[in-house]
Structure formats: structure tokens, C-alpha cells
């Protein structure tokens, strides 16, 4: 029988030296290499960091939070491109795939979210995609147009934008009252439909003292029907306007609620029907529509406050939030394009025409990737079971709102689209 190891560490004698368990304590270890028991830092190690070490640690921590969601959305974007190419060239033997990469990325995100579910570790990265990556993608789109091009598209789109905003505000407000929705919820659905989707809702909510539930319901209805429009309206536009890119872009920019959804629909149309210019037209139309928040949100707030009998204080309008930064970024990139294109050689000869064109193409490609990643995040962030929690009346109001702007935009373009296109071309 074995005796305990002595204090000196000597191995006691035995007829079977290999029966001593202490003999194999370090089997598998590497001599000279420390055997880490726990990779976690101790509280003392954390407290010892100061200055650049502490800030660097915070950045590493932030990277760890956003990496999973960002990589998942990017992976869906890559898979979307691969599956689209495989369907077209590999499976069906076509020159062009019948399903665009962005549609596959969105549907893939929806499937993952509504079957496997989305672990919380992915949330921070997906929020980054929806709030930052999307805006970078939209801003970079400006490099594809000069200021003259932006102005000509905006001028042609203006009558349709105004008609859709006025009609949507009036009809959706009336429908909300007919369905006995709370007045604040009706206002939020109306402005979200008419102008800028979730951005308008979030900007209007504090002004009319809407509750978190009312804001969440309005955002939910706009998101649901906007996502349906993102997937369906590109095909509707192609059928309605016979492949006319200008009218299709105006339709997508005025009939779909949120900027992200408009960008996604424009990219989907461009990939599906080989018309990349539709994304530019739809984006400019939507950004012009966004600018109307400056006038419409204060007016809606004033109208709501006049209808209230209470003498509560009237909160101010957050004017700095009424023009999203990515709108300014888009205009800034268009300015760069205009300056670069002036004269016989780009930027006064600082770079060659080939280099300037390469920069434009690189920015355009990066923009498309950003938008595809953001759209994958939209799919990953959409939980369809939440529809039950919204209730039938908010959903009915959202459905009517989506149909109103779609029908009005499509009808006006069918009636006056040719004239509007000529206005845009002559102005450009």
C-alpha cells in the first residue's frame, strides 16, 4: 500500500513505481510553458490598468461585443451572393440569377431569427449594422451622383413626395380615429408612414409625449409592412412601369416607409433587373422625403397639442434630430463627385481618370456590401411572432397606411411619370 508523499516531495518506495499517481501529475504538460488554470483577469489586474492601457482594453471589450453579430450579418451577405450565383449559373445555367443576393440574405436572416432564435451575444453587432453600417452605406451612395444629378432627381420626385405625404397624413389619421386607436399612436403611425419610417416615429414620440409602448407599436407596424414592401415592391415596380428605371426608383422612394427598406428595395431591384441606377433614384427620393421632417413633425406636434385638453407643458422639437447625419454624408459625397468631375482631368490632375474611376467603383462596391449586411441584420432582427402582441387595430392601421402610399405613388406615376422623368432629365 502507498504511503502519503513526504514533506520533502520524495516518492515513497513501492514494488510498483508506476502505481504512484503523483508520477503522472504533469503528463501532457510542456516543460517551461506556464500551465494557465484560468484565463480570466483578476480584479487586481483590472484595477491596475490606467491611461492608454485602460482605453485599449475598453476598445477590445467593445470589439468582443460587436464581432459576433457583425460577422453573422456579413456571413449572410456572403452566403446570399454565393447562393444567388449558384442558382443562376450553376443550377439553372442562366446568365443571371432569378433571385438577388440581398433577398437571400434577408430571407436567411428571417429564417434564423424565427427558427433557431437570436442569442443575446449577437445583439450589439446587429445594432451596429442597423445604426452605423447602414448609414455609411447610404452616405457612400452619394459618390455615384453629382450634385446636378441629385438636384434633378429631387426636383422630379418633389410633386410625388408632397402628394404622398399629404395624403398619407390625412388618410392614416382618419383611419386611426375610425379604428379608435389612441391619438398618439395614430400620430406616430401617420408620420412614420408619410415621411421617414422609424426615424420619424422616434423623433415625434417625445414631442407628443408618447409612451414606450406606443412608440414600440408604431415601429412594429412600420417595420412589418415596410419589410413586406421591401421584398414585394421591386417586382411590383418592374411590372407597373415596364422596366422604366426612373419611375421605378421614384415609386420605391415614395411608397416604402423607412430609409433602410428603400435602400434595400433599390438594391434588390438593381440586382434583379440589372438596373443599378434605380438604387440612386430611390435613395435620393427618400432623402428628399426625409428632409420634410423639418416641417411636418412640428406641425403634427402642434396639431396634437391643440387637440389635447390638458395643460401639460409642451416639449420642444428636437431640431438637431430632424436631418439625419447620413443625409449630410450623402450630399457631401455628391459634392466630392462633382468637384472631382470638374475640368478635363479629375481633381486638377492630382490623380488620373482611371484612378478616380477606380475610387468611385470602390466606394460604390463598399456601399453595396454595407447595405447588404444591414439588410441581413433587418432579417435577423425581425421576430414575426411579435405580430400577435401588436394587436389587430394597429396592424390594420399599418396595412392601410402601406397601401395608401403605395397606391397613391403608383397611380400618380402611371399618370404623370413620363412628364416627371422629362423634368428630371432636363434639369440634369
192/413: higher pLDDT: 413
Residues 140, 366: Cα–Cα separation, whole Å: 8
The torsion of the CA quartet 115, 120, 125, 129, rounded to 10 degrees, works out to 50
Give the pLDDT confidence score for residue 347 in this predicted structure.
83
Among the ranges given (38-52, 122-136, 305-319), the one the predictor scored with the smallest mean pLDDT = 305-319
The arithmetic mean of pLDDT across residues 112-141, rounded, is: 89
Give the pLDDT confidence score for residue 400 in this predicted structure.
85
Residues 268, 231: Cα–Cα separation, whole Å: 8
Give the pLDDT confidence score for residue 311 in this predicted structure.
42
Give the pLDDT confidence score for residue 79 in this predicted structure.
92
Give the pLDDT confidence score for residue 251 in this predicted structure.
95
Q: What is the 8-class DSSP label of residue 234? A: H
Q: Which of 186, 386, 161, 149 is nearest to 262 (CA)?
A: 161
For the cut 50, the answer to whether the pLDDT of residue 1 exceeds it is no
What is the model's pTM? Answer: 0.77
36/161: higher pLDDT: 161
Whole-Å CA distances, 311 to 172, 187, 212, 225, 315: 27, 19, 22, 36, 12
For the cut 80, the answer to whether the pLDDT of residue 203 exceeds it is no
- DSSP letters, 260-304, are HHHHHHHHHHHHHHT-THHHHHHHHHHHHHHHTHHHHHHHHHHHH
For the cut 60, the answer to whether the pLDDT of residue 313 exceeds it is no
Report which secondary-structure segment, H or E, holds 426.
Answer: helix 392-427
Q: Do the beta carbons of residue 140 and residue 370 sit within 8 Å?
A: yes
According to the per-residue pLDDT averaged within each range, which of 5-19, 132-146, 200-214 is highest?
132-146
Give the pLDDT confidence score for residue 211 in this predicted structure.
79
Give the pLDDT confidence score for residue 96 in this predicted structure.
65
The arithmetic mean of pLDDT across residues 221-240, rounded, is: 89
Instruction: Give the pLDDT band (50/70/90) at residue 72.
Output: very high
The arithmetic mean of pLDDT across residues 130-151, rounded, is: 86
Give the pLDDT confidence score for residue 221 in this predicted structure.
82
Q: Do the beta carbons of residue 268 and residue 100 sit within 8 Å?
A: yes
Among the ranges given (2-16, 225-239, 376-390, 410-424), the one the predictor scored with the smallest mean pLDDT = 2-16
Cα dihedral sign, 306-310-312-318: negative
78/205: higher pLDDT: 78
Give the pLDDT confidence score for residue 76 in this predicted structure.
94
- Residue 212: all three cell numbers together: 414606450
Q: What percent of the chain has pLDDT over 70?
A: 80
For the cut 60, the answer to whether the pLDDT of residue 310 exceeds it is no
191/95: higher pLDDT: 191
319/417: higher pLDDT: 417
- 392 contact partners, CB below 8 Å, separation of at least 6: none
Instruction: Give the pLDDT band (50/70/90) at residue 318.
Output: low
Among the ranges given (186-195, 224-233, 316-325, 371-380), the one the predictor scored with the smallest mean pLDDT = 316-325
Give the pLDDT confidence score for residue 379 in this predicted structure.
87
For the cut 90, the answer to whether the pLDDT of residue 247 exceeds it is yes
The arithmetic mean of pLDDT across residues 167-173, rounded, is: 86
Cα dihedral sign, 413-418-420-421: positive
37/103: higher pLDDT: 103
Give the pLDDT confidence score for residue 28 in this predicted structure.
57
Amino acid at each position: 500500500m502507498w504511503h502519503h508523499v513526504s514533506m520533502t516531495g520524495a516518492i515513497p518506495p513501492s514494488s510498483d513505481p508506476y502505481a504512484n499517481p503523483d508520477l503522472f501529475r504533469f503528463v501532457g504538460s510542456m516543460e517551461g510553458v506556464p500551465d494557465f488554470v484560468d484565463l480570466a483577469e483578476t480584479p487586481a489586474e483590472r484595477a491596475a490598468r490606467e491611461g492608454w492601457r485602460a482605453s485599449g482594453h475598453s476598445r477590445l471589450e467593445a470589439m468582443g461585443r460587436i464581432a459576433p453579430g457583425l460577422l453573422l450579418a456579413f456571413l449572410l451577405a456572403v452566403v446570399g451572393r454565393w447562393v444567388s450565383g449558384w442558382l443562376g449559373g450553376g443550377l439553372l445555367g442562366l446568365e443571371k440569377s432569378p433571385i438577388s443576393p440581398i433577398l437571400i440574405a434577408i430571407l436567411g436572416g428571417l429564417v434564423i431569427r424565427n427558427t433557431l432564435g437570436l442569442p443575446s451575444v449577437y445583439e450589439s453587432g446587429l445594432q451596429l449594422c442597423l445604426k452605423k453600417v447602414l448609414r455609411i452605406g447610404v452616405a457612400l451612395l452619394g459618390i455615384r451622383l453629382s450634385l446636378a444629378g441629385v438636384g434633378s432627381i429631387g426636383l422630379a420626385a418633389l410633386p410625388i413626395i408632397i402628394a404622398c405625404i399629404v395624403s398619407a397624413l390625412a388618410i392614416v389619421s382618419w383611419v386611426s380615429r375610425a379604428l379608435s386607436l389612441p391619438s398618439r399612436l395614430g400620430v406616430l403611425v401617420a408620420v412614420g408612414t408619410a415621411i421617414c419610417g422609424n426615424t420619424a416615429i422616434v423623433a415625434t414620440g417625445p414631442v407628443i409625449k408618447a409612451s414606450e409602448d406606443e412608440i414600440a407599436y408604431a415601429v412594429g407596424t412600420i417595420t412589418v409592412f415596410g419589410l413586406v414592401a421591401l421584398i414585394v415592391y421591386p417586382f411590383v415596380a418592374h411590372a407597373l412601369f415596364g422596366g422604366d428605371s426612373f419611375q421605378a426608383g421614384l415609386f420605391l422612394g415614395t411608397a416604402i416607409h423607412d430609409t433602410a427598406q428603400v435602400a434595400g428595395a433599390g438594391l434588390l431591384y438593381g440586382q434583379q433587373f440589372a438596373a443599378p441606377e434605380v438604387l440612386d433614384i430611390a435613395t435620393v427620393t427618400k432623402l428628399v422625403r426625409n428632409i420634410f421632417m423639418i416641417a411636418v413633425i412640428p406641425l403634427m406636434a402642434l396639431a396634437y397639442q391643440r387637440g389635447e385638453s390638458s395643460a401639460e407643458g409642451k416639449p420642444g422639437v428636437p431640431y438637431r434630430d430632424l436631418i439625419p447625419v447620413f443625409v449630410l454624408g450623402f450630399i457631401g459625397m455628391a459634392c466630392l463627385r462633382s468637384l472631382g468631375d470638374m475640368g478635363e482631368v479629375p481633381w486638377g490632375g492630382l490623380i488620373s481618370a482611371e484612378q478616380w474611376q477606380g475610387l468611385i467603383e470602390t466606394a460604390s462596391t463598399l456601399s453595396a456590401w454595407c447595405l447588404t449586411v444591414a439588410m441581413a441584420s433587418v432579417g435577423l432582427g425581425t421576430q414575426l411572432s411579435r405580430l400577435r402582441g401588436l394587436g389587430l387595430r394597429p396592424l390594420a392601421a399599418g396595412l392601410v397606411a402601406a397601401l395608401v402610399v403605395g397606391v397613391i405613388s403608383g397611380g400618380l406615376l402611371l399618370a404623370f411619370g413620363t412628364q416627371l422623368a422629362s423634368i428630371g432629365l432636363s434639369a440634369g
